[in-house]
Amino acid sequence: MSSLKKIKTALISVYNKNNLAPLIKRLNKLNINIYSTGGTQKFIEDLGVKVTSVESLTTYPSILGGRVKTLHPKIFGGILSRRSNENDKKEINNYEIPEIDLVIVDLYPFKETVANGAKEEDIIEKIDIGGISLIRAAAKNYKDVLTISSRNQYNILLDLLNKNNGEISIEERKIFARQAFNISSDYDTAIFKYFNNDNPNVFKESISNSTTLRYGENPHQQGIFFGEFDKMFDKLNGKEISYNNLLDIDAAVRLINEFDETTFVIMKHNNACGVASRTKLVEAWKEALSGDPVSAFGGILITNKKLDTETAIEINKLFFEVIIAPDFEKEAFEILRQNKKRIILIQKEFNLPKNQFRSLLNGVITQNSDLKTEKENDFKVITKHTPSNNNINDLIFANKIVKHSKSNSIVLAKNKKLLASGVGQTSRVDALKQAIEKANSFDNNLDGGVMASDAFFPFGDSVEIAHNAGITSVVQPGGSIRDKESIDFCNNNNMSMVFTGIRHFKH
């Protein structure tokens, strides 16, 4: 059975006062005594509402430039006193400490201050001490005290006050206490990460925003996304985004970010099954699709250019789950939205995280994101034959794709088009054979094409197989004790090969 408790006294000390006025007026109508500090006190007085300054209660002024205002036994005693504890009652009566039933705090905007690139002294001053202490104290004593720990809760409290005429149940107080500790831990984590930015030996993350997904990778698994999807995308159309959709969207975004020229990418199960760069977007689409039109069915489409009507007409012929672009022509959008379930996303400008983490065994592993993308000046020609200009462009193109393909991976490309790839294989030879077989099955001519490998060739057999299929140039990290076998084969068979010195495993 709910235990309702009437609020008689409130302490209010907030940074953000938006939407606070209606709440203050309601507290006043309920004859709730209000204590407050500094700017909040003035805000309340300007509303014509009676308020008692904290200083008059503690008999201490706000000191140290506002760093110390509420940190006093008469404040924390009133919050932490247990109403059913006789010793607590005697002590607060003896020291003339008023019981405080409601604490409303909105913390200094530490995260926002850091994100805005403020100076260190300004960032330090946005570390809230009194506010976070008030929140923790009130939440600890939720059996007697209600904690409002964010401006996002002002309207929620107002509704509760209206509903129960100023009385709050213990169940409601416990919910707010849980939210308060979530906010305080998130706040502390943000501060710790600011101070710990160059120490990789401690792992802390706090993500408050979450979305429950239809299910996880499979229907019998629960799935939740923790993050702010809306900061990265505008969703214009379609069904609810799934767990697997998110994995493919992440992979698609990371790959398309490698390209500046007009490019279309088709993703399937975290791997590219179609990629092409062309002057016109519609041609990029057609070439990308022709690489593997079978795997493209039900895939994720992404481009780095505004999607025009001509291209929309063509891609609308295919069944696919998601399409992502920086913008859509109006008519193009109208064509694509005809499928009500089709997810249409506008990709906003944003920076991907510089670090990655994932759960593993009974812990977490972290690493720096793979932000290295090789250019021509990173290539070291190690054969007698030098790649042609066309080969160089294709080697750069293929190397970008292999970087974002599941290991072991081989990518075959020509004229800035993905001809085929072999991904997720237990041997590099198997990956190459898979890629050649797929290219041939779709009549993608490998003659004069290039090959990219995500890691070195342990033997010379892969280069020989590629040569027999028509490949003329190779990019790989190098570093095998048998590198000479591959180099010698290239030299003896009019092939060129470049080393990058950079491995791009993706597990």
> What's the CA gap between 335 and 329, in Å, rounded?
10
Q: CA–CA separation, 147 vs 363, rounded Å?
A: 33
Q: Is 506 a catalytic residue?
A: no
Q: Is-cis flag, bond preceding 391, omega within 30? A: no
- The span from the CA of 319 to the CA of 97, in Å, is 69
CA dihedral 8, 9, 14, 18 (to 10 degrees): 30
Other C-beta atoms lying within 10 Å of the C-beta of residue 417: 22
Q: Is 287 helix (H, G, I), strand (E, B) or coil?
A: helix
Q: Provide the residue type at 284 as one letter.
A: A
Q: What is the DSSP string of 42-77?
A: HHHHHTT---EEHHHHHS---BGGGTBSS-SHHHHH
- Asked whether 171 and 2 are in contact (CB, 8 A), the reply is yes
Q: Cβ(399)–Cβ(477) under 8 Å?
A: no
> What length does the chain have?
507
Compute how many other C-beta atoms are within 10 angstroms of the C-beta atom of residue 272: 29
DSSP 356-410: EEEEETTEEEEEE-------GGG-EE-SSBPPPHHHHHHHHHHHHHHHTSPSS-E
Selected catalytic residue, list 17, 235, 269, 385: 269
Distances (CA, A) of 67 to 19, 64, 70, 288, 417: 25, 5, 9, 60, 61
DSSP state of 229: G
Active site residue: 8, 17, 140, 235, which one?
140
Catalytic residue list contains 269: yes
Please say whether the dihedral angle defined by the alpha carbons of residues 197, 198, 200 and 202, taken in this order, is positive or negative: negative
- Phi-psi category of residue 362: left, alpha or beta, with phi > 0 → left and psi -120 to 50 → alpha: alpha
Q: Which of the residues are catalytic?
A: 140, 269
